[in-house]
Amino acid sequence: MSEQDLKLQFETMEAPDFKEFAKAMTDYIAEYLENIRDRQVVPSVKPGYLRPLVPEQAPQQPEPWTAVMADIERVVMSGVTHWHSPRFHAYFPTANSYPAIVADMLSGAIACIGFTWIASPACTELEVVMLDWLGQMLGLPEEFLARSGGEAGGVIQGTASEATLVALLGAKSRMMQRVKEQHPEWSDTDILSKLVGYCNKQAHSSVERAGLLGGVRLKSLQPDGQRRLRGDTLRDAIDEDIRNGLIPFYVVATLGTTSSCTFDALDEIGDVCLSHGIWLHVDAAYAGSAFICPEYRYLMKGVEKADSFNFNPHKWMLVNFDCSAMWLKQPRWIVDAFNVDPLYLKHDQQGSAPDYRHWQIPLGRRFRALKLWFVLRLYGVENLQKHIRKQIALAHLFEKLCTSDDRFELFEEVTMGLVCFKLKGSNEINEELLRRINGRGKIHLVPSKIDDVYFLRLAICSRFSEESDIHISWEEIKSSADEVLKSQKK
Ligand code: PLP
């Protein structure tokens, strides 16, 4: 097209006033959350339900915002699983609070991309300080915190899976450098083919995935009878691999496994890693929030031996997704592994504050520290501790109800807000029990299976959960069990 053909058009787009929309949405959100208990926890829609409810194409002309509001119930809510309903007991909790929602609104308004310090100094600096606040709340050793004055510090990753991968990449670059110094004649491919990492067989699937993405071998080790990875098991595996010419470089210890919330023997594992110079990463995605209560810190004994530590405030600490807090003693291994420095991302202050783009996989990052700041200030540590303690107490209430019925048994000791239980009897009967429970539609649970034993998991997920809600869930489970056992007798 020639310059003459190109007719510049300066017509301004129509910009309706959306303030009323924002206000209406704020009211709707409060209404939704305050009355969430009354909604059916899992929708009864079928795949493909949504397409017929919306037009084939985007509208050419703007619609009134009231039309959008009117469609939220019809199109969206009819297909929403209500994760914040007290009847929702599946997976692990995902956090939700007004302070975090409001912070996300502000983050959306500022809408900066904080990949370097200069790209938005407050975005980086608030994150550095919030991770220090949070680290102190958890009782993490000073060597993890930026305020210690060294290179250490925290970063907000999107998810625990990313943190595990980032730590693996750091561990890989550290070991590659070490081995190259000892064996300058070995090629990168030689070394890579020898690297091996370890985790509990019960570790989250994201650990295995990190190995695949990072192009290294990861071995799942057999836990003990209480499903904890022990130091001896790890040491034996490492010794054998070294004898076979492999190079152990990375271990993930899980504090609070996904299936049944057990805790690896971190202190023992830490000793093994230290004695072999292996990077130890701690994945405390769910249970880490409980360490804000000093009485649970015994479960992270040995944390000072780790190189990196991660947990998800977005699971259990009232900070909406996504906010996965990660601390590194020596971020230089990550920064070096990811360092590409095009001219357009360079700035004069480089080196005096973190450029978080080097600490993570994507380049772009939202202003997520705002939601930590709002939640920590508006609840205060004491209220967050009360939240954790209450949810654990509710789990123990369910445990008591369950163990008082001799048809049921626990599969795992209850330590956090998760109860693993089953009907005494076969896997089939428990599969049928879960089918009935979820089929009745009043509450929602998911199962798990360990060593071929199928069990049900009841997680305390909603911050609205009260004792009466646990009684309702228990009654629902009991009636479903009555149905299953009755149908068995026929
Ligand atoms: N690690 C553990 C122990 C988990 O329980 C989970 C999820 O439940 C994850 C990792 C993955 O978390 P994310 O969704 O933040 O990647």
DSSP states of 142-179 as a string? Answer: GGGSGGGSSS-EEEEES-HHHHHHHHHHHHHHHHHHHH
Using the mean position of ligand 1's atoms as its centre, give its distance from the Cα of residue 16 in Å.
42
Using the mean position of ligand 1's atoms as its centre, give its distance from the Cα of residue 156 in Å.
15
Query: pLDDT by residue (tens digit) across 37-52?
Result: 999 999 999 999 999 9
Provide the pLDDT for residue 381. Answer: 98
Q: State the closest ligand 1 atom to the C-alpha of 256, by its place in the atom list counted from 1.
A: 3
pLDDT-derived band at 347, boundaries 50, 70, 90: low
Q: Is the pLDDT of residue 342 over 60?
A: no
Query: pLDDT by residue (tens digit) across 45-97?
Result: 999 999 999 999 999 999 999 999 999 999 999 999 999 999 999 999 999 99
CB 251 within 8 A of CB 280: yes
Provide the pLDDT for residue 348. Answer: 63
Stretch 168-189: mean pLDDT, rounded? 93
Using the mean position of ligand 1's atoms as its centre, give its distance from the Cα of residue 255 in Å.
11
Q: State the closest ligand 1 atom to the C-alpha of 287, by its place in the atom list counted from 1.
A: 3
CB 269 within 8 A of CB 285: no
Using the mean position of ligand 1's atoms as its centre, give its distance from the Cα of residue 484 in Å.
32
pLDDT-derived band at 1, boundaries 50, 70, 90: low
Query: pLDDT by residue (tens digit) across 382-399?
Result: 999 999 999 999 999 999
Stretch 324-330: mean pLDDT, rounded? 97
Residues 6+ apart with CB under 8 A from 488: 429
Q: Is the pLDDT of residue 109 over 70?
A: yes
Amino acid at site 180: K
pLDDT-derived band at 341, boundaries 50, 70, 90: low
Provide the pLDDT for residue 357. Answer: 82
> For a substitution probing ligand 1, which of 83, 161, 418 has the most ligand atoms within 8 Å of its CB?
161
Using the mean position of ligand 1's atoms as its centre, give its distance from the Cα of residue 147 in Å.
28
Residue nearest to atom 5 of ligand 1 (CA): 258
| DSSP classification of residue 73 | I
Q: State the closest ligand 1 atom to the C-alpha of 254, by its place in the atom list counted from 1.
A: 3
Provide the pLDDT for residue 343. Answer: 61
% of the chain beyond a pLDDT of 90: 84
CB 132 within 8 A of CB 154: yes
pLDDT-derived band at 362, boundaries 50, 70, 90: confident
Q: Is the pLDDT of residue 116 over 90?
A: no
Query: pLDDT by residue (tens digit) across 198-238?
Result: 999 999 999 999 999 999 999 999 999 999 999 999 999 99
How far is Cα 423 from Cα 379, in angstroms, rounded to an integer?
39
Task: Please give all residues whose beta carbon lies within 6 A of any atom in ligand 1, as ranges.
Answer: 92, 159-161, 204, 206, 254, 256-258, 283, 285-286, 312, 324
Provide the pLDDT for residue 14. Answer: 74
Provide the pLDDT for residue 4. Answer: 62
Q: State the closest ligand 1 atom to the C-alpha of 314, by its place in the atom list counted from 1.
A: 15
Residues 6+ apart with CB under 8 A from 273: 251, 279, 280, 305, 306
Q: State the closest ligand 1 atom to the C-alpha of 161, by its place in the atom list counted from 1.
A: 16
Tell the burial category of 347 from Cβ atoms under 10 Å away from its Cβ (0-12, 13-18, 19+): exposed
Q: What is the bridge-based pairing of β-strands 153-157 and 324-328?
A: antiparallel
Per DSSP, helices labelled H in 184-312 are 188-194, 205-214, 231-243, 266-276
279 by DSSP, 3-state: which?
strand
How far is Cα 379 from Cα 417, in angstroms, rounded to an integer?
20
